[in-house]
Amino acid sequence: SIDRSGAKRTLIVGGLMLTMIPVPWIFVHGLFGVLLCQTLSGAAWAGFEVGHFSLLLELGYRRMRPSIFAAQSLVSGSAQLLGGLIGSLLLSAEFGARGVFALSSAMRIVVVVALIRFLLQSAPPVRRPRPQFRIIGFRPGTGLAQRPIEEPATYAESSAE
């Protein structure tokens, strides 16, 4: 789950799965093969998208998120359009469907390797300690009454250094 492994790892695993999507299409014959390919494709895209979305949420400030998601949508839509146009040009040039799938897989590997290198080089987000609260009561009209818990001396000493 993404809660255990984190957004980066989920994105990387989903990206690696995406590189393999075109490979079965090279060999598939019949309805069962098509259904299997589509199922694997859906699982790969789901992992990639949830990792991508979580990473954007993790790294972006609240005020910047609409701009970040708009830019991501623009880049993603443009890449899909460009990929479709290149694929159709290759098909019309008698490259063959199997050749297009093989080239698609190779290009996906190049992109995912670049993505992995970028993610591993980027600095992790800064984690600030969140204040801890103790529930001291319940008020029917306003909800929970809370009081801050004092931070341990060990944390205060380590953060002062």
pLDDT at 160 exceeding the cut of 80: no
pLDDT, tens digit, 9 for 90 and up, residues 5-39: 888 888 888 888 988 888 888 888 889 988 998 99
Q: What pLDDT is attached to residue 7?
A: 83
pLDDT at 121 exceeding the cut of 70: yes
Buried b (16+ CB within 10 A) or exposed e, 98-129: eebbbebbeebeeebeebeeebeeeeeeeeee
Give the span between the Cα atoms of 114 and 127, in whole angstroms: 26
pLDDT, tens digit, 9 for 90 and up, residues 55-100: 888 877 778 888 888 888 898 899 889 988 988 888 888 778 878 8
